[in-house]
Amino acid sequence: MKNALGQEVGPLVTFRPRPPPPSEPLVGRFVTLEPLDPSAHADDLHDAYADDVHGRGWTWMGYGPFPTRTAFRAWLDTLPGTDPLFFAACVDGRAAGLASWLNVCPEAGRLEVGHIHFAPRLQRTRAATEAMDLMRRRVFDLGYRRYEWKCDALNARSRRAAERLGFSFEGVFRQHLVVKGRNRDTAWFACVDHEEPALRAAFAAWLDDANFEGGHQLRALGTFTGPVLSARDPTLRTPQP
């Protein structure tokens, strides 16, 4: 649209700053996201991460791996309580992964999901996907406009996960960070509020018992979220790694 001077401008937005996301549990069928409590979650998390014997899950994180249970607990104790706001993903009462909301900007109605680190026993499960669904749903239920995902541009697995979960690729910030002494180019992804109804329906269809037989999915999540991605600007697609 154009303003009175004939210049292209964005559409008018009626928006009020949103409240910061609350530190309260998110409860699903397969997973419960509990606000991180090192005294309650540290031992379970350490044991779950120990299944990753080669430490592959730590490669693109800005911290870890931790050589001892004590070192891991000491790191957990340094984490802030609000931004990032960490959750422990718990299955059958035991923590098996971490995720957080961060870079919260209530004035613009945007925030990011990050620090996602699921132990091997949680990866590729309905609980893991439901955890991401619960976090996204809460953000849009609070009235936020934009939900972001950022990762190392060389982390092909994270980039594939972002699109499978309904995030659109928006570009790469070159030389964005230095992580563990190495350059990090950062790939940016996001989904926005008007896409949420379609994403919510896609996740519900994938998580439904009718999509599973003998514990195995009949249709991949990407077949449900794919139409949402396809409906967006075709330039917002990540190059295949």
Question: 230 falls in which pLDDT band (50, 70, 90)?
Answer: confident
| CA nearest to 189, candidates 233, 151, 134 | 151
Q: Are 128 and 117 in contact (CB under 8 A)?
A: no
Measured from the Cβ of residue 124, the count of other Cβ atoms closer than 10 Å reads: 11
Amino acid at 92: D
Mean pLDDT of the chain: 95
Q: What is the DSSP string of 68-126?
A: SHHHHHHHHHHS-SSSSEEEEEEETTEEEEEEEEEEEETTTTEEEEEEEEE-TTTTTSH
pLDDT number for residue 6: 94
Q: What percent of the chain has pLDDT over 90?
A: 91
Topology of 26-230 in CATH?
Aminopeptidase (3.40.630)
pLDDT number for residue 241: 44
pLDDT number for residue 229: 84
Say whether pLDDT at 103 is over 50. yes
Taking only the tens place, the pLDDT of each residue in 50-86 is 999 999 999 999 999 999 999 999 999 999 889 999 9
Domain ranges in the chain? 26-230
pTM score of the predicted model: 0.93
Q: Looking at residues 180-205, what average pLDDT do you find?
A: 97
pLDDT number for residue 3: 92
